[in-house]
Structure 1
Amino acid sequence: MTDADLTITPLTVPGSLDDTDAADFIAFGDLSRLVCDEEVGLPDLSPTASQMLASWQDESDSLHLGFVARRDGDIVGMVSLSYAQEEHAKAAEFDVLVPAAHADEGIAQALLLCAEDDARRRGRDVMQTWTLHRPANTSDVLIPKTGWGRIPPTALSNFLEAHGYGLEQVERNSELDLHADPGVWERALADASAFAGPDYRSLTWELPTPPALRAGYASVLARLVTDAPSGDMEFDAEVWDADRVARRDVRMTSAGQLVAVSAVEHVPTGEIVAYNELLVGPDRAGMTHQFGTLVATEHRGHRLGTIVKCANILRWRELVPQSSRVSTFNAEENRPMLDINEALGFVPVSYAGAWQKRI
C-alpha cells in the first residue's frame, strides 16, 4: 500500500529475534513501549518484543499480525491486530502506534484504514481498541457509555472519535507497592478465608499448570470474557480446554517470564471458581503485571477475590522479592474489585479508554 511517500507493508514475524528478518519486530516492541511512555509515562505497560514473540508465532488460539508505515525508509508508525480464532468470532482488536515525533502526518489515518480493510477481508465487523490516559486534572473530560470513570482527551482519542469510534468503557490502571508492610494482606487473607468457610479451598501453582488442574482452570479462564464487566464491548466468547491451557502456558512463560497463579476450588463440586495471575519478565526486578483476576458470578459474595489476590501477593513476595510494584487494570464500574484493590493499597496511576466501532 502506497500513499505519496508513505508505504505500509506487513510486519514480519521472525522465528527468532536473532534472525536477519527480526529488525522490524524488535522495532515494534520498542515503539509500543515508547508510545506507552509518551502517553502516560509507563513504558512497562507494554511487553518487550521477546515477551510478545511466542504469542505472535502461535496462531492456534489468536492470530496476531501487523503493518509497518515508513517514510523515506524510516519507520514512522505501526498498527497491530489480534483476531480470536473461534469460528463465530466477529471482533478485531487493534493498536495504532504513532510516536509524537511523527504525529499529524496522516500516518495514523493510513494505518487505521489498513487495519479496517484487513478486518473486513477476514469477515470481522467490530473494531476494538484502547487508549491510554493520565489522570484527569481538567474539566475537559470524556465520559464512557457506562457512565463510570472520566478521562481527559488525547490526540489519539480525538482521532478515534473523529473516525466513528465510541468510548464504551473506562478502565483504571492501579499499582501496589509490593515492599509495603504485609500485615494488611495477611489480615485480609485470614478474615476472608474465615468468612468463605470450608466450602472453599485455596490452590497455588506456577506455570505450567499441573495436568490435573488444566481442565478446571480452562473452565474459569473461559469465563473472563463473559463474567467480567465490559459495558457494551462485544467480546467474542472463547472456547477453552486443557490443551488450550497448556498452549497458553508455553506462550506466557516464554522469554524467561514467571507466572504464579492463586485459585480457589469449590470443594463440594471440585470446580475452580476464582483465580488471580501475576507475571514478571526475565528481569525479576521489573514491573509485575496482574493478568486475569475473576470470581465466577455464582460464587461472588464470599470474599474469594480478596483470597486469590492476597494469597498471590504474599507468595509473590517470596518468589520475586526484587519486584517492587504490581500493575493491574479494572473496569471503573467494577466496584467490588476496586474496593478490594483500594483496601489492599492499590492506587490509580493511569487510565485506559475502550473504543468500539462497527464497520
Structure 2
Amino acid sequence: MTTAALTITPLIVPATLAADDAADFRAYGDLNRLICDEEVGLPDLAPDAAQMLPNWQDDSDALDLGFVARDGDEIIGMVTVSFAQEAEAHAAEIDLLVAAAHRGRGVEEALLTRAEDEARERGRTVLQIWTLHRPEEAERMLVPRTGWGRIPATSLSDAVEAHGFTLEQVERNSELDLRADPEPLRRALAAALEAAGPEYRVIEWQLPTPPELRDGYAAVLARLSTDAPSGDMDFVAEVYDADRVIRRDGRLTAAGQTVSVAAVEHIPSGTLVAYNELLIGAERTGTTHQFGTLVAKEHRGHRLGTIVKCANLLRWRELVPDSSVVSTFNAEENRPMLDINEAIGFVPVSYAGAWQKKI
C-alpha cells in the first residue's frame, strides 16, 4: 500500500451505537483501545465508544471532529481533532490512531496533515497531541522542554516529531491497587485533616452535582486549566458556570458512567478550593479513572490534595467495590501531587508525551 491508495473521510457521529451509520464510531472505540494495548499494554486507558459518544454529540463546550483512513474497505487509521469553544482558544487537540500493522507507510503523515488542515481552516494556531510510552529504557530517550521525565521513542512519537511537533512535557500514568489494605489511606486522611485544621471541611457527592454546589464546583473546575502544571502547553482558561456543570455532568453520567467527587470547602469564605473525581464506565469491574484533581494555588500547603484523594478513594471502595485499580496521570514536574500518590501506594505503569506545534 502507498499513500496514493488512501482515502480519508469524515467520521460519522451516530445518534446511537445501534444506528445504521454507527459502524465507524464503534470501530473508533475499538481502535482507541487497541492503540493503548499495543503502546503500553493498558487497553482500559481508553474509553469505549459508548463512553465517548455523548461528548461527540454535544459541541457546546468542545467541538470534536474525526477522520477515517481506509485502504479499500479496510479502516487503517483515524485521527480526531478537538476544538475548545472559548473565544480565546488557540489550540486544536489531536489524537492519532494508527495500529502497528499499518504504520510506516504514510498513513500517519496523511492523517496528521488532514488534522492540521482542519485546524488551519478553523483559525487555530497551535496543535497539540499526546503519545503513550512504556516505563522502560530504549536506545533513544526523549526529554521534554520542561526537563522533567524522559520517555522512549516509539514509531508514533517519531511520526509526530517528523511532522514538526516539539515534546513539551512528560506525564506519569500511575495505578493504585484498590484491593490493598485501606488502612494507609485512613491514616493519611486523618493526619491531613488534622494538619489542615478547622477552616477546611470535606464535601462529597456523586454526579449529577447538587444544585447548591454547582456554582462553587464550576469555579474550582475552571482552575484546572490554569493552576495545574502544563509547561509551555497553550491551554485556554476554561469558562465554567452552573449551566456548563450541568452539561458536563450529563455527558459524564451518560452511558451508565459513575462519578464520585470529594471536595474541600474553605469554611471562612464558603468556597470550594480542592477537588478529586473518580470515574468508571457501566462495567463496574473495570478500571477506575481519576478524572480531575486540583488544589487552588492560594490554598496549597495545607495537605488538601491528600484529603480529597484519600477521602474519595475510601468512599469509592464502598461505592464501586468490584473495581480493582485506579489510574491517574500527573505531570512529572508536579512533585507535590506525585509525592501524595507515591505515599498512598500509586506506582508508575506508563507515561505520556505532550507535544505541541505552532502553525
The answer to whether the superposition gives a TM-score over 0.5 is yes
Aligned ranges 1:55-94 → 2 under 5 Å: 55-94=55-94
Inter-partner Cα distance in structure 1 for 2:186 and 2:315: 11
Inter-partner Cα distance in structure 1 for 2:51 and 2:268: 39
Q: 1:340 aligns to what? A: 340
Q: Name the CA shift for 1:3/1:138 in 2 (closer, same or farther; >3 Å).
A: closer
Q: Secondary structure at the match of 2:243?
A: helix
Inter-partner Cα distance in structure 1 for 2:6 and 2:155: 21
Q: Secondary structure at the match of 2:220?
A: helix
Q: Does 1:325 align with 2:330?
A: no
Spell out, residue by residue over 1:16-48, the C-alpha distance to the aligned partner (whole angstroms, 9 max, x if none): 001000000000000010011000000011100
Q: Secondary structure at the match of 1:253?
A: helix
Inter-partner Cα distance in structure 1 for 2:137 and 2:74: 36
CA RMSD of aligned residues (A): 0.9
Inter-partner Cα distance in structure 1 for 2:79 and 2:139: 31
Inter-partner Cα distance in structure 2 for 1:337 and 1:304: 10
Alignment check: 8 A CA contact 2:93 2:128 kept: yes
Inter-partner Cα distance in structure 2 for 1:340 and 1:124: 37
Identity of aligned residues (%): 71
How far apart are residue 237 of structure 1 and its match?
1.0
Q: Does 1:299 align with 2:299?
A: yes
Q: Does 1:124 align with 2:124?
A: yes
Alignment check: 8 A CA contact 1:98 1:107 kept: yes
How far apart are residue 138 of structure 1 and its match?
3.2
Aligned ranges 1:180-199 → 2 under 5 Å: 180-199=180-199
Q: What is the aligned residue count?
A: 358
Q: 1:314 aligns to what? A: 314
Spell out, residue by residue over 1:305-349, the C-alpha distance to the aligned partner (whole angstroms, 9 max, x if none): 000000000000000000010000000000000000000000000
Q: 1:353 aligns to what? A: 353
Alignment check: 8 A CA contact 2:31 2:99 kept: yes
Q: 2:34 aligns to what? A: 34
How far apart are residue 225 of structure 1 and its match?
0.9
Inter-partner Cα distance in structure 1 for 2:3 and 2:305: 51
Q: 2:244 aligns to what? A: 244
Spell out, residue by residue over 1:261-294, the C-alpha distance to the aligned partner (whole angstroms, 9 max, x if none): 0000000000000000000111110000001000
Inter-partner Cα distance in structure 1 for 2:4 and 2:129: 27
Letter in 1 for 2:228: A
Structure 2's unaligned 5+ residue stretches are none
Q: 1:19 aligns to what? A: 19
Aligned ranges 1:95-174 → 2 under 5 Å: 95-138=95-138, 140-174=140-174
Inter-partner Cα distance in structure 2 for 1:255 and 1:160: 32
Aligned ranges 1:242-281 → 2 under 5 Å: 242-281=242-281
Alignment check: 8 A CA contact 1:136 1:150 kept: no
Inter-partner Cα distance in structure 2 for 1:137 and 1:113: 30
The two structures have a TM-score, normalised by structure 2, of 0.99
Inter-partner Cα distance in structure 2 for 1:163 and 1:62: 25
The two structures have a TM-score, normalised by structure 1, of 0.99
Aligned ranges 1:204-223 → 2 under 5 Å: 204-223=204-223
Q: Does 1:228 align with 2:228?
A: yes
Inter-partner Cα distance in structure 1 for 2:229 and 2:150: 17
Over 6 Å off, 4+ runs: none
How far apart are residue 139 of structure 1 and its match?
5.3
Q: 2:45 aligns to what? A: 45
